[in-house]
Structure 1
Amino acid sequence: MTPAPVAEVRTLIAASPDLLAFGEPTHGEPAFPQLRNALLQALVEDGFRSVAIESDRVAALDVDAYVQGGDGTLDAVLATGFSHGLGQLDANRDLVAWLRGHNAGRPPGDRVAFHGFDAPLEMTTAPSPGPYLRHLHDYLTARLGPDGFRHGRTDLGALLGDDRRWSDVAALMDATKSVGGGAAAMALRAVADDLVTTLYAEAPRLVATSSPQAWRRAEVHGSTALGLLRYHAVAADPITPQERTSRLLGIRDALMARNLLDIRTGERHRGPTLVFAHNRHLQRHPSTWRLAGMDLTWSSAGAVVATLLGERYLYIAGSLGSSAALGLAAPDAGTFEHALGPGLTDAAVLTAEPDPGAVLVDAVTLAAVTHGRRERTDVTAEQGYFPLDAATVAGCDAVLHVPTAAPQGPDPAALAERILALPGTELLLATEESGAPETSWGDRFFYVGPDRRLPFATIVGRDTPGWDEASRLDRPGVFRVNVHAGREEFQRLLGYPPAELEERRPAVDFARLDVILPHPSYGRQGWVCVLNPGPRSVADLDGLIVTAHHRAVLRRSG
């Protein structure tokens, strides 16, 4: 990763903050976490000593222990130390590896700490508070004895019941199915509050018989349990779905804000903190979202923290022009994003590896170049991109704009060259002259031998109307590589035989990029596919193509 020019960043934001928040407009574009990494490496040289990301705070404790030199492996900590699937991102792997290497041999006060500041919540589920309460209870019991504190002998299991009933998806959608408003849940809130109070009241004794780190871990578990109990209580409130969903979103951001403020309390003597999350969580103005016919409004974590920290909170909003990963086309003229595209002057340039050509635009320049512009309207819900709007432009300290986010993997031509390098491979390019239907013009079909009996791989760039549209190849820059893996390899890769594809089809996102998927039309015949192969899939795809080629050679020779 190439370090970001922190001097220009400092000039643009004009102050040294406690929290420097860098927002991404989507979780699906790799350029933003890559830029975060580059920016962090530069800011560490300028005194920053911690990074906090939109991931479960409790899980992140394991990541921090690892980057501080603790036991374990990188793969293990990526699997357990992140929520929302963030451990699968290459940029997060790079971040954790860099932090551990940077911290090696440094005194504790000079190391860079890793924090998560999210609650352990997903969009449609919330876990049981049980594991978090049990951790706190066990910590207190081991040091104070079961008779040494209130609720030392309380049967938490009797109050909690089966942990699975808390995480029931229906519980967040239907208040009558939530357990958060029952007598046992109310009793648990009182117990949790008493346990956290005991933790603080007995802190001198507890820290003396354990460690500051163990006490802090117990405190984070306790505050997480209380937050989950509050969340479940709102889920059980018999109000309208719109009110309940807005309040649930608000509680999540309130928990985020409290976590950020708590993190700053611990880091205040060591240096500022870089915060990375979605713009919707970091912006200063209220968040709004049109979802399933509901108009949702709530205060973001950024709005809460900015109110309490004032000028010590600085916010850089991320924005995006076009993206191959999202299938997002270039913005129309007249939009905010178009104003920040090619030709923009008076902007500091940030670089990352690979370089997305990002520009950082300060608030004064931003106001001038976006005057009279409008919000872009060419974005679909599936793309997951939240465009710049007037409130974000007016409320941020700068915008970091990526005009064009390049694909992260080989393009179709490069892949075709790699396939053609396999012995005996023949290419058929579908064209008007070849008599192919117009919907397949430009598609590539790879065979072993000149007789072209059955392709072992294809590269296609268009949907076939009425037949093969599930991959949504109409998105700009999106293409698909199809490979005849065979039934055994299909099952090894996907965990079920091709014959079960139809019953599993509703759960498959055939439009997802950079993952191995069943072919939407020929999966039952053992075909798999990858849309826009990138860091997550290209190595496996290369192996699949070689195997499919070998099988084709055997078929032809037999």
Structure 2
Amino acid sequence: MLVHRLDGGPGDFDPLLRRIGAARVVMLGEASHGTYDYYRLREQLTRRLVTELGFSFVAVEGDWPDCDRVHRSVTATAGADPEPRVALESFRRWPTWMWANAEVARFCRWLRAWNVDRPEPERVGFHGLDVYSLWESLEAIFGYLGTEHPDELAAAREAYRCFEPYGRRVEEYASASRFVSARCEEEVIRLLTRIRAGVGRDGPSAFAAWQNAEVVAQGERYYRAMVGGGPQSWNVRDTHMADTLDRLLDHYGPAAKAVVWAHNTHVGDARATDMADAGMVNIGQLARERRGADDVVLVGFGSHHGTVIAAPRWGAPAEVMTVPPARPGSLEHRLHELLPERAMLVFDPTVPTAPPAPGEPAVPAEPGGPGVGVPDWLAGPVDHRAVGVVYDPSFEEWGNYVPTRTADRYDAFVWCDRTSALHPLAAKSVTGELETYPAGM
């Protein structure tokens, strides 16, 4: 295990880049969806992955249609808005601040500047992995087919008619599907099959239409599972995100490399947490299983105290909240005692823990520990904080923590002792969905 101080210099992430090496997938987490420091450090690391290691696209825990507008802007597609901030401000699904914020806007402006001097096939994309945008994806399919394949509009109309009695209230459709014959599964599968066969997958517009059809199909499954309760909707969602990541890697070509931005609960391997006991999987686990541990690097983030953008209840306006000091015995409390303000742990179980370099912090091993790579308190289970978009700081004593074997869940961990809230843009939330499971992750 390597412990490295982050001092804001150009070599901050050098040890992590060496660990990443030739890996094709790097997933960068966050302990909340509303912390400036996580977004800023993730941006800095992603810039280096793009410029030094040739990564091909950024895939985020966001809706495909919304992120496709951002993608078109950052890749300077004809007809797209030249200012990515405009595309971000058009996000309407609550919680808009996850991606419609000044930190993402700054990264996207940089990404556009990086792309415009490069040939189109070499431009770095920005894509959404999530499953929520059932109606928006249907509308995008209509737009594409109406222009490019009007003969295929009939299949899209059949899927639309199935959902039409429920308007945009997908929760009403999902609830009805439990008691009456309201399932649209057959219609959306037919739509997906027709698009796969009749439209093809070559070219960015055709690929986007195919992906939107996948969102409609999996979104229908997700909303039906959501009203049933339990972890199944979570698994539908994360499996869809993992499948979308695989499709993107295939679309970009055999040498493609992906950066994923998502919450720690999605990025960190679920098998190293109590999520596994509940029968839940996530994209970090699925990527390791599908591609092998050598081709996937999972990076978690955490902090001891600070402020965050979150909401007191689902659908409520965002506000700045205080994140209290981590509770005693937690991972965050231990790292607060041992590490400086900013630091990074890089786990490699094949390398014995080395003495710290001059000026580097030491993370002591404990008697009876595994003796190779990491101390036992990082190898064994410890509570690890997870803040959702719905947050109640007073609940810290009982909840907001996930039992975690840190060195198994992540390949590296970025530490920020004190953090501050991010800066939302002026996007207006007009749509939402049933609360995610677990809440707001």
Q: What is aligned with 1:382?
A: 392
What root-mean-square deviation, in Å, do the aligned CA atoms of Structure 1 and Structure 2 show?
3.6
Alignment of 1:25-104 (within 5 A): 25-44=31-50, 45-70=52-77, 71-72=80-81, 73-81=83-91, 83=93, 84-85=95-96, 86-104=98-116
Equivalent residue for 1:22, pick from 9, 25, 28:
28
Q: What is aligned with 1:183?
A: 181
- Structure 2 length normalisation: TM-score? 0.72
| Per-residue deviation, 1:53 | 1.4
Q: What is aligned with 1:320?
A: 303
Q: What is aligned with 2:14?
A: 7
Question: In the alignment, residue 101 of structure 2 is paired with which amino acid?
Answer: L
Can you give the 5+ residue segments of structure 1 that lack an aligned partner in the other structure?
121-126, 238-243, 290-294, 346-355, 410-492, 496-558
Equivalent residue for 2:129, pick from 83, 96, 117:
117
Larger radius of gyration: 1
Q: Does 1:226 align with 2:217?
A: yes
| Per-residue deviation, 1:401 | 1.3
Q: Distance in 2 between matches of 1:391 and 1:373?
A: 5
Question: In the alignment, residue 158 of structure 1 is paired with which amino acid?
Answer: R
Contact 2:159 2:191 in 1 (8 A): no
Q: What is aligned with 2:5?
A: none
Q: Distance in 2 between matches of 1:373 and 1:189?
A: 41
1:82–1:67 Cα change, 3 Å = farther
| Per-residue deviation, 1:111 | 2.0
Give the number of equivalent residue pairs: 368
Equivalent residue for 1:256, pick from 218, 231, 241:
241
Contact 2:74 2:108 in 1 (8 A): yes
| Per-residue deviation, 1:163 | 4.4
Question: In the alignment, residue 382 of structure 1 is paired with which amino acid?
Answer: D
User: Higher mean Cα deviation, 264-273 or 150-159?
Assistant: 150-159
1:102–1:368 Cα change, 3 Å = same
1:69–1:307 Cα change, 3 Å = same
| Per-residue deviation, 1:282 | 1.2
Equivalent residue for 1:164, pick from 138, 153, 167:
167
| Per-residue deviation, 1:273 | 1.4
Cα offsets for 1:477-518 (capped at 9, x unmatched): xxxxxxxxxxxxxxxx9x9xxxxxxxxxxxxxxxxxxxxxxx
User: Higher mean Cα deviation, 375-384 or 188-197?
Assistant: 375-384
Alignment of 1:460-539 (within 5 A): none
| Per-residue deviation, 1:98 | 1.1
Cα offsets for 1:45-85 (capped at 9, x unmatched): 22112111111122111100000114323342012257531
Equivalent residue for 2:375, pick from 354, 368, 375:
368
Contact 1:336 1:388 in 2 (8 A): no
1:285–1:358 Cα change, 3 Å = same
Contact 1:317 1:396 in 2 (8 A): yes
Can you give the 5+ residue segments of structure 2 that lack an aligned partner in the other structure?
1-7, 309-320, 354-372, 429-441
Q: Distance in 2 between matches of 1:406 and 1:154?
A: 47
Question: In the alignment, residue 105 of structure 1 is paired with which amino acid?
Answer: D
Sequence identity (%): 19
1:288–1:26 Cα change, 3 Å = farther
Question: In the alignment, residue 240 of structure 2 is paired with which amino acid?
Answer: L
Alignment of 1:279-358 (within 5 A): 279-286=264-271, 288=274, 297-311=279-293, 312-325=295-308, 326-331=321-326, 334-341=329-336, 343-344=338-339, 357-358=342-343
Q: What is aligned with 1:278?
A: 263
1:43–1:164 Cα change, 3 Å = same
Q: What is aligned with 1:404?
A: 418
| Per-residue deviation, 1:200 | 2.5
Query: What is the DSSP-based 3-state SS (H/G/I as helix, E as strand, rest coil) of the residue aligned with 2:128?
Result: strand
Q: Distance in 2 between matches of 1:397 and 1:317?
A: 8
Query: What is the DSSP-based 3-state SS (H/G/I as helix, E as strand, rest coil) of the residue aligned with 1:201?
Result: helix
Q: Distance in 2 between matches of 1:406 and 1:160?
A: 42
Question: In the alignment, residue 164 of structure 1 is paired with which amino acid?
Answer: G
1:91–1:82 Cα change, 3 Å = farther
Query: What is the DSSP-based 3-state SS (H/G/I as helix, E as strand, rest coil) of the residue aligned with 2:188?
Result: helix
Question: In the alignment, residue 308 of structure 1 is paired with which amino acid?
Answer: R
Q: Does 1:217 align with 2:208?
A: yes
| Per-residue deviation, 1:275 | 1.0
Q: Distance in 1 between matches of 2:401 and 2:407?
A: 11
| Per-residue deviation, 1:161 | 2.2
